[in-house]
Amino acid sequence: MGVVVQGGDDHGRALDDGADFIRDLNAGGETRPGVRYTVIVSTTDVLVTPTSTSFLSGPDVHNIVIQDEHPYAVIGHIQLAYDPISLGYVSAALSG
């Protein structure tokens, strides 16, 4: 199963699992050595489901589920960009 891009210069170009673009994108793994990664997800995000599809694996990866520490937080996909709880996690990640 693939994705069909329907806008821009890519009208109708199929991005199936065997496409050169997808193969090149996935070459070499998800992460690079020496880079710290933080993934912040919300279980109340109804756009990205299941939320576990956002997680990375590898060294220096920190996957965060907001509701693990804030079980009553209702933070949707767009709100992840400006909610004080998610911004706290971003600030902590950038601080090191």
60-71 pLDDT, tens digit per residue, is 999 999 999 999
Average pLDDT over residues 50-69: 93
Tokens, residue 90: 């971003």
Looking at residue 48, its amino acid is: V
Q: Is there a single domain that holds both residue 25 and residue 40?
A: no
Q: Is there a single domain that holds both residue 38 and residue 48?
A: yes
Q: Is there a single domain that holds both residue 47 and residue 77?
A: yes
**pLDDT above 80: residue 41:** yes
Q: Is there a single domain that holds both residue 35 and residue 12?
A: no
Average pLDDT over residues 16-26: 71
Q: So what's the pLDDT on residue 18?
A: 66
Dist. CA 34–CA 36, nearest whole Å: 7
Q: Is there a single domain that holds both residue 84 and residue 41?
A: yes
Dist. CA 87–CA 84, nearest whole Å: 5
Q: Is there a single domain that holds both residue 42 and residue 82?
A: yes
Q: So what's the pLDDT on residue 15?
A: 54
Q: Is there a single domain that holds both residue 44 and residue 91?
A: yes
Counted domains in the chain: 2
What's the pTM value of the predicted model, to 2 decimals? 0.72
Q: Is there a single domain that holds both residue 60 and residue 22?
A: no
Of 5-19, 41-55, 62-76, the range with the lowest mean pLDDT is: 5-19
**pLDDT above 50: residue 3:** no
Q: Is there a single domain that holds both residue 3 and residue 38?
A: no
Looking at residue 87, its amino acid is: L
Q: Is there a single domain that holds both residue 14 and residue 42?
A: no
**Domain range enclosing 2:** 1-30
**pLDDT above 50: residue 6:** no
